[in-house]
Chains A and B, each alone.
Chain A
Amino acid sequence: EPEVTQTPSHQVTQMGQEVILRCVPISNHLYFYWYRQILGQKVEFLVSFYNNEISEKSEIFDDQFSVERPDGSNFTLKIRSTKLEDSAMYFCASSEARTQYFGPGTRLLVL
């Protein structure tokens, strides 16, 4: 069964550094998403992406964040200048229509 994959599984970075989190959605899916989960808190929506553009974003998704689909398979989340509070588990998801399928997550630690 096809699955969403994410790399890296863990990333440690210094405050102020840029990070890029990578996702490979399920191949025939058209909708892509990023969510994050700060330790001990709920899973929160960040952004959705369809037809090569952002379709919706949350208040969390400020100018420090960007998403891209650089080729036919990858979907990336970039954080330009990381802050301590960006430390979280970041989940990518994709969907064909209604149901979203999640990747295993990338645990980001900002020191």
Chain B
Amino acid sequence: AQRVTQPEKLLSVFKGAPVELKCNYSYSGSPELFWYVQYSRQRLQLLLRHISRESIKGFTADLNKGETSFHLKKPFAQEEDSAMYYCALKTGATNKLIFGTGTLLAVQP
């Protein structure tokens, strides 16, 4: 079955600390992985997609097919990073996104 797991509901860090938001997926084919962010009272916004291997707002994520993971990392958290982060999987066969349950990142001053 296709599934995305985000094991942490809440991650609280201090400003300047490193951040790693975990995402594991279950899919036997060739996946496309995305990270979406939702700031308070705003829409879901695309943060990263693995195929473009870019860094946005200091965040990076590497697809590890061996561990079936796509963890989101940032070396130094900022208060404005506080938001809900969703990992999403798109399988080759369809265009639908399968979302994880999300991790709320709280960056303390």
Interface residue ranges, A against B (CB under 8 Å)? 3-4, 31, 33, 35, 41-45, 48, 50, 55-56, 58, 91, 95, 98-105
Q: Which 5 A-B pairs have CB atoms at the shortest separation, nearest pair first?
A: A102-B44, A43-B99, A45-B96, A104-B43, A42-B101
B residues in contact with A35, CB < 8 Å:
97
Q: How many residues on the B side are at the interface (Cβ–Cβ under 8 A)?
A: 22
Contacts of A56 in B (CB 8 A): 94-96
Bound complex: CA A45 to CA B46 (Å): 17
Bound complex: CA of A3 vs CA of B43, how far in Å?
Answer: 10
B94–A43 contact, CB under 8 A? no
In B51-109, the 8 Å CB interface with A consists of 51, 86, 88, 90, 94-102
Q: Which residue of the partner chain, among B36, B94, B95, B98, contacts A95 with CB atoms under 8 Å?
A: B95
By a beta-carbon cutoff of 8 Å, the part of chain B in contact with chain A is: 32, 34, 36, 42-46, 49, 51, 86, 88, 90, 94-102
Bound CA span A81–B45, Å: 31
- Report the minimum CB–CB distance from B22 to chain A (whole Å): 15
Q: Report A-chain residues with C-beta under 8 Å of the C-beta of B45.
A: 102
Q: What DSSP secondary structure best describes chain A's contact surface?
A: strand
Contact of B99 (CB < 8 Å), options: A33, A42, A95, A99: A42
CA separation between A95 and B94, bound complex, in Å?
13
24 contacts between A and B (CB under 8 A): A31-B95, A33-B97, A35-B97, A42-B99, A42-B100, A43-B86, A43-B88, A43-B99, A48-B95, A48-B96, A50-B95, A56-B95, A58-B96, A91-B44, A99-B46, A99-B49, A100-B46, A100-B95, A101-B46, A102-B36, A102-B43, A102-B44, A103-B43, A105-B43
Docked Cα-Cα span, A48 to B97, in Å, equals 10
Measured between alpha carbons, how far is A41 from B99 in the docked complex, in Å?
10
When the two chains form their complex, are residues A45 and B51 in contact, meaning their CB atoms are under 8 A apart?
no
Q: Do residues B102 and A42 form an inter-chain contact, with CB atoms below 8 A?
A: yes
